[in-house]
Amino acid sequence: MAETQVQEGKAPFKIPSIDEPCFTYYKIIGDLSSGAPPVIIAHGGPGAGHEYLLPFADLWQQYGLPVIFYDQIGCAASTHLPQKAGDQSFWQEQLFQDELDNLLDHLDVRRDPGFHLLGQSWGGMLGAAFAARRPRGLRRLVLASALASKELATRGTLLLREQMPPDMQKALDEAEQKGEYDSPAYKEALDFYYRKHVCRADPFPPAELLPALKHLSEDTTVYRTMNGPSPLTADGSLNNWTVIPRLPKITSPTLVYNGEYDTSHDIAQVPFFELVPRVRWITFPGGGHMCHLEGGGLRERILKVVGEFLTHKDIPEAQ
């Protein structure tokens, strides 16, 4: 069994429009000099931080793959920029692409043996866009409960809302019409949505998810500006976002997965499956958006599927 090694650090990140020094916090599980490609883990939210994805640290223990977690700019242990709240021109995909490029260079992981990239939710949206550039060193890509476009994501959310009890649908509609998201009825509907579609762990929320919920509630700058006032109400800078025209450019072998009840609905996965040249798509029965945190054997199955995909010798690498 591989020995567990943990290293933490901060990568300086220069943002041209920001005068103050900024940095990206990272945590490495395993040994980057082991000869195996490290797995870069891009979290969702935007603004959720890396902790809820820590179960993937077991890729080191079980498959000998070093794992690199990081907190994206604006959240958790990286530099916060509350002065940029509401600035939709600032909080764009390109900022996070630049940050990921900067981190890869700081850690010097582009050279042989290269690196893998796993993005969950918004991190998968970023990961697909990043991979479409065919970045040097990228070996394999995992899109975990990602979304091919915000328009498809919204359509998927509406389909899930239509399955909710009528009184909850009414509470959601009234909150959005009035711009009031603090009513008990709205919170009850949102809690129902979270437990059925976001994370189906019982008890809810699981301990690993608590830091993400804390990050998202304590500093709303990134999530509110990029997504909107609620997971069910989108009016942020990502509203017109799409990676669909770029998907045929992805040359890395790609694993796409989502859950049966996932907020990342099947309709938002179809473009990945149809347009990425070398792709495999798995939908996990009984799973939600955070199925790597869920019981019933889901957590173990996902780690096995991801670990085997990243280490399987018979998959041709990108040319």
In a domain, 204, yes or no: no
Q: Cis (ω within 30 of 0) for the bond into 206?
A: no
In a domain, 81, yes or no: yes
* pLDDT at 238 exceeding the cut of 80: yes
In a domain, 225, yes or no: no
* pLDDT at 231 exceeding the cut of 60: yes
pTM of the model: 0.97
In a domain, 296, yes or no: yes
Residues with a known catalytic role: 121, 262, 289
In a domain, 188, yes or no: no
In a domain, 123, yes or no: yes
Residue 299 near residue 53, CB atoms below 8 Å: no
- Residue 226 neighbours by CB distance under 10 Å: 25
Domain interval for residue 149: 6-153+236-311
pLDDT digit string, tens, across residues 46-105: 999 999 999 999 999 999 999 999 999 999 999 999 999 999 999 999 999 999 999 999
Residue with tokens 């990206």: 24
CATH number reported for the structural domain that contains residue 273 in this entry: 3.40.50.1820
pLDDT score at 281: 98
CB-based contacts of 35, cutoff 8 Å, min separation 6: 113
> Could you tell me whether strands 39-42 and 115-120 are parallel, antiparallel, or unpaired per DSSP bridges?
parallel
In a domain, 120, yes or no: yes
What is each CA distance from 300 to 209, 218, 223, 297, in whole angstroms?
Answer: 17, 31, 29, 5
Number of folded domains that form the chain = 1
Q: Identify which of 292, 313, 285, 314 has the alpha carbon closest to the alpha carbon of residue 59.
A: 292
Which of 169-178, 190-199, 243-252, 308-317 has the least mean pLDDT?
308-317
Q: How many C-alpha atoms does 296 have within 13 Å on its Cβ side?
A: 13
Helix then strand count (H, E) for the chain reads 10, 8
52/290 Cα distance (integer angstroms) = 9
In a domain, 270, yes or no: yes
Instruction: Give the amino acid at 298.
Output: L
69/40 Cα distance (integer angstroms) = 6
Which of 42-46, 113-117, 124-128, 171-175 has the least mean pLDDT?
171-175
* pLDDT at 316 exceeding the cut of 80: no
Question: Residue 234: which pLDDT band, with cuts at 50, 70 and 90?
Answer: confident
Average predicted confidence (pLDDT) for the chain: 96
Q: What percent of the chain has pLDDT over 70?
A: 98
Question: Residue 319: which pLDDT band, with cuts at 50, 70 and 90?
Answer: low
- Residue 315 neighbours by CB distance under 10 Å: 15
What's the token pair of residue 313? 């010798």
pLDDT digit string, tens, across residues 3-20: 589 999 999 999 999 999
Collapsed DSSP state (helix, strand, coil) of residue 301 = helix
* pLDDT at 2 exceeding the cut of 60: no
Q: How many residues does the chain have?
A: 319
